[in-house]
């Protein structure tokens, strides 16, 4: 399966999904004009990726800001991965946040509460 890469812009994050390595990276700020349009290729790619026998998957998130619609999209991504985890896939999340940003920590903790897959929250 091909990897997926969407370059970051001033209002949308880098999306870098390496199918061979099983590493999915989302980094930057996420407040595109239409979050659902922006994340549509992410959902499509993940759906296809998770159909195939896959290597262990690690979602590396480094988002400093998400608007409300981006939060909904991130919940959808996490639910897709959580579903795969519940079916026996090896899936985990590593959420990186700025230690000076208490709101980012709170948001990561809220996301972690909504899933059953392994979820690390890492300050930097």
CATH number of the domain that residue 39 is part of: 3.30.750.24
Average pLDDT of span 16-30: 94
CA dist 124 and 106 (Å) reads 15
CB 37 within 8 A of CB 72: no
Give Cα 67 to chain centroid, integer Å: 15
Confidence of residue 29 (pLDDT cuts 50, 70, 90): very high
Tell me what percent of the residues of the chain surpass a pLDDT of 70.
99
The sign one gets for the Cα dihedral 66, 70, 31, 119 is: positive
Residues 6+ positions from 27 with CB-CB distance below 8 Å: 8, 13, 14, 16, 60, 61, 62, 63
What was the pLDDT predicted at 31?
96
pLDDT, tens only, 63-119: 989 999 999 999 999 999 999 999 999 999 999 999 998 888 999 999 999 999 999
Q: For the whole model, what pTM was predicted?
A: 0.93
CA dist 54 and 37 (Å) reads 26
The parent domain of residue 24 ranges over 4-123
The total number of structural domains in the chain stands at 1
């Amino acid at each position: 399966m091909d990897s997926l890469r969407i370059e970051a812009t001033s209002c949308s994050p880098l999306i870098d999904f390496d199918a061979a390595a099983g590493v999915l990276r989302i980094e930057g700020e996420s407040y595109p004009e239409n979050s659902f349009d922006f994340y549509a290729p992410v959902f499509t790619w993940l759906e296809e990726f998770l159909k195939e026998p896959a290597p262990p998957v690690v979602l590396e998130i480094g988002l400093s800001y998400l608007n409300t619609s981006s939060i909904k999209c991130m919940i959808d991504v996490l639910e897709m991965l959580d579903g795969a985890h519940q079916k026996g896939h090896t899936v985990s999340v590593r959420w990186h946040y700025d230690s000076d940003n208490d709101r980012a920590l709170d948001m990561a903790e809220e996301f972690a509460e909504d899933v059953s897959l392994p979820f690390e929250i890492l300050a930097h």
